[in-house]
Amino acid sequence: MHKTDKFEAQKARAIDVRGKLFAFETIDPERSALVVVDMQNVFCAKGQVVEVPEARDIVANVNELAAAFRARGMPVVWLQQTYDQDMDDGWNLWFDVMAPGDRKDAIVANMSRGTEGHELYSELDVQDGDIKVCKHQYSAFAPNSSMLDSILRKRGIDTIVIAGTLTNVCCESTARDAFFLNYRIVFLSDGTACLSDEEHNATLVSIHNFFGDVRSSSDVAQALKNNRGAFPTGS
């Protein structure tokens, strides 16, 4: 699990921005969803091309929170990073400049539908009633990336709790774009993972100061047990 001491030392900066430590004091079960980003074999399984070892450490927290959401009748959404051939034009800068060489072949082999890498990690507690959404960009809310926005709007969702990997790439990108679509963002400090504590903490600081709240999975679980949806005080 990532160490978040650097985030804890800086999160009070949010008070300077918005006048209080947390933007949201409650979570509304009628209007909230858990969105789990890219917890697929290609990121979570040992030896994979883009393995994120810390992602395996958050599986228990993700599963427990998913169960808490289901218990309140709240949707659980599993996002899957997906390669399709029509993505080539949108990803040519990545394939040609940012990650040249055989990176494209590895992504095609592990992120295409039907491949083992594309599948959700086997240790996740994915239930039949959950929602699976394929996305084609880092952010699920980027233009033409996925149907997530439409799915959530139809359910009256205005708050998303974000878990998954990588903290500083797809999780952060999804959170930022969601914020500008007027979603309330609750970003999990111990339910997201990336390749280093430094990158993880940097994202937590940015999200908490400018895009939403950073909470622990236990904070969210406790709020869901409260009839009023109130987060625990003193977090």
Q: Could you list the active site residues?
A: 38, 135, 170
CA distance 23 to 214: 10
> What letter does residue 164 receive in the DSSP assignment?
E
Query: Which residues touch 163 (CB under 8 Å, ≥6 apart)?
Result: 34, 35, 36, 37, 39, 58, 61, 62, 65, 171, 188, 191, 192, 217
Query: Is there a contact between 41 and 201 (Cβ–Cβ < 8 Å)?
Result: no
Query: Is there a contact between 213 and 26 (Cβ–Cβ < 8 Å)?
Result: no
Burial of 12 (0-12, 13-18, 19+ CB in 10 A): exposed
Query: Which residues touch 144 (CB under 8 Å, ≥6 apart)?
Result: 90, 136, 137
Alpha helices for 19-130 (secondary structure H): 41-44, 53-57, 59-71, 92-93, 103-111
Tokens 């003193």 correspond to what residue? 234
> What letter does residue 211 receive in the DSSP assignment?
T
Inter-CA distances, 20 with 10, 24, 103, 191, 220, Å: 14, 10, 44, 23, 18
